[in-house]
């Protein structure tokens, strides 16, 4: 790459939506986008936490229609490009077209790591709309290297310009990232991306390993604002990469200032590794499940950690949020039987 060694996509206005119960308002998005644009961040992702069309009872209702947020972000940017996430089955090509008409420049088409084939229509439509198109393989820790490569090659064959390995649960260990990114780099001709979560306090370490092995597209979230314990913290990442003489083109001081002055006041609580987010990484469960598990735990008077560990054992993935209540109910009934037996 010419001007930059690594291209960063800022995800606080999408992944961060999980952390604040999808309550972004237009004025907040405008302030954050303006500051990111002035800091020269290449891409800014804006949409519901679960992507276009995600506002629902199952995934969480948005306070503000996501297209209003997207439109405001597009109009605010002078140089940054606005991106959206779309999970086929949640979002449709209809919503993708609306986003493109609003001025979005990048679409990230996300599937479970074993289901790349369902992305074909959406990747093709994104390319047809003239959008830079990213294949986004979620929960990548759940399959062996060979399967990951197979699925990435499918997304590349559909026309994806970039393919991401996504650590949705924050479950990867550095050696696992190293092995997988190296394999992807060897097999694919398109750019490789990496999206981390910090549930095991390894987002930065895993991101640096991914870059060392050839990933050139990296996700970050200012102030670590994202699902679970958040993502790789953008302002920290920019500083670390500067120390490593890796160019991002992003203004380090401006990133620190916007993190402290603009984004920090938006957080309902500081992003930190709590017992909830830690168990997500330990169990290998989708990071956005935490809020749903906590609600189910309260309803059924059980431990949210037990729910999440069981979801991990059952290999439940994004899109199966309805299973959370089922698991909580089952745990409550089993406990009642045990107590009755005593």
pLDDT of residue 321: 83
**Residue 316's pLDDT is what?**
87
Active-site choice (18, 48, 141, 292): 18
Let me know if 75 is a catalytic residue: no
Own/partner pairs, 318-321, CB within 8 angstroms, 24+ separation: 318/50, 318/87, 318/112, 318/138, 318/139, 318/168, 318/286, 318/288, 319/87, 319/89, 319/90, 319/112, 321/58, 321/59, 321/289, 321/292
Task: Flag whether 141 is marked binding.
Answer: no
- In angstroms, the Cα distances linking 305 to 76, 201, 231, 310 are 41, 18, 21, 9
Residues counted in the chain: 342
Q: What angle do CA 329, 335, 338 make, to 5 degrees?
A: 145
Q: How buried is residue 312: exposed, middle or buried, by Cβ count under 10 Å (0-12/13-18/19+)?
A: buried
Provide the 8-state DSSP code for 194: E
Q: What is the pLDDT of residue 101?
A: 98
Tens digit of each residue's pLDDT (9 = 90 or more) over 133-183: 999 999 999 999 999 999 999 999 999 999 999 999 999 999 999 999 999
DSSP assignment of 68-128: HHHHHHHHH-SS-EEEEEE-BTTB-HHHHHHHHHHT--EEEEEEETT-GGGGHHHHHHHHH
Residues 218 and 47: their CA atoms lie apart, in Å, by 18
175 is in an annotated binding site: no
Q: Is 15 annotated as a binding residue?
A: yes
Least confident range from 49-58, 175-184, 299-308: namely 49-58
| CATH 3.20.20.70 domain locations along the chain | 7-266
Q: What is the pLDDT of residues 104-141, one digit of tens each?
A: 999 999 999 999 999 999 999 999 999 999 999 999 99
The answer to whether the CB of 169 falls within 8 A of the CB of 247 is no
pLDDT for 230 beyond 50 = yes
Q: SS3 for 56?
A: strand
Q: Answer yes or no: is pLDDT of 2 > 50.
A: no
Residue 14 known to bind ligand:
yes
Is the pLDDT confidence value at 33 over 60? yes
Spell out the alpha helix ranges (H) of the chain. Answer: 16-19, 26-38, 66-76, 93-102, 120-128, 145-158, 174-187, 203-212, 234-243, 252-258, 275-283, 289-300, 304-313, 322-341
Quick one: pLDDT at residue 341?
A: 74
197 annotated ligand-binding residue:
yes
- φ and ψ at 187, to 5 degrees? -90, -30
pLDDT score of 78 more than 50: yes
Residue 288, annotated as binding a ligand: no
Q: Of 128, 26, 13, whose CA–CA distance to 75 is shortest?
A: 26
SS3 53: coil
What pLDDT is recorded for position 292? 87
What CATH architecture does domain 288-341 belong to? Orthogonal Bundle (1.10)
Check residue 286 and give its pLDDT: 84
Answer with the residue of higher pLDDT: 289 or 24.
24
**10 Å Cβ neighbour count for 263?**
25
pLDDT at residue number 342: 64
Strand partners, 81: 43
* Res. 30: pLDDT tops 50: yes
According to the model, what pLDDT value does residue 3 have?
64
- Region 226-249: mean pLDDT is 96
| Cross-strand bridge partners of residue 162 | 134, 191
CATH pick for 7-266 out of 3.20.20.70, 3.40.50.1820, 3.40.50.2300, 3.40.50.460 = 3.20.20.70
Outline which parts of the chain fall under CATH 1.10.8.60: 288-341
Give me the mean pLDDT over the 261-268 stretch: 94
- pLDDT score of 57: 80
Task: Summarize pLDDT for 320-339 with one digit per residue, the tens.
Answer: 888 999 999 999 999 888 88
pTM for this model (two decimals): 0.93
CA distance 74 to 280: 34
**CA 73 – CA 46 distance, rounded (Å):** 8
């Amino acid at each position: 790459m010419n001007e930059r060694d690594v291209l960063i996509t800022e995800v606080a206005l999408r992944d961060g939506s999980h952390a604040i119960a999808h309550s972004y308002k237009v004025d907040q998005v405008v302030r954050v986008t303006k500051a990111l644009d002035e800091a020269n961040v290449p891409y800014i992702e804006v949409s519901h936490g679960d992507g276009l069309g995600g506002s629902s009872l199952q995934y969480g209702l948005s306070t503000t229609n996501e297209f209003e947020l997207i439109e405001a972000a597009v109009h605010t940017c002078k140089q940054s490009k606005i991106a959206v996430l779309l999970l086929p089955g949640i979002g449709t090509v209809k919503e993708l077209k609306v986003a493109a008409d609003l001025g979005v420049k990048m679409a990230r088409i996300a599937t479970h790591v074993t289901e790349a084939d369902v992305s074909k229509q959406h990747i093709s439509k994104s390319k047809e709309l003239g959008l830079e198109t990213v294949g986004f393989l979620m929960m990548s820790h759940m399959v062996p290297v060979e399967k990951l490569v197979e699925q990435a090659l499918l997304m590349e064959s559909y026309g994806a310009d970039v393919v991401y390995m996504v650590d949705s649960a924050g479950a990867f260990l550095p050696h696992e990232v190293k092995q997988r990114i190296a394999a992807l780099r060897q097999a694919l001709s398109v750019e490789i991306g990496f999206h981390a979560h910090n549930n095991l306090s390894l987002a930065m370490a895993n991101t640096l390993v991914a870059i060392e092995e050839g990933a050139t597209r990296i996700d970050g979230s200012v102030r670590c604002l994202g699902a679970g314990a958040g993502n790789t913290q953008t302002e920290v990442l920019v500083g670390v990469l500067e120390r490593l003489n890796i160019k991002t083109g992003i203004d380090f001081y401006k990133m620190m200032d916007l993190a402290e002055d603009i984004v920090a006041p938006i957080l309902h609580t500081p992003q930190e590794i709590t017992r909830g987010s830690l168990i997500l990484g330990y169990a290998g469960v989708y990071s956005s499940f935490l809020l749903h598990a906590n609600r189910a735990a309260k309803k059924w008077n059980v431990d949210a950690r037990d729910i999440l560990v069981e979801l991990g054992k059952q290999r439940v993935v994004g899109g199966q949020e309805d299973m959370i209540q089922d698991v909580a109910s089952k745990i409550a009934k089993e406990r009642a039987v045990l107590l009755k037996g005593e």
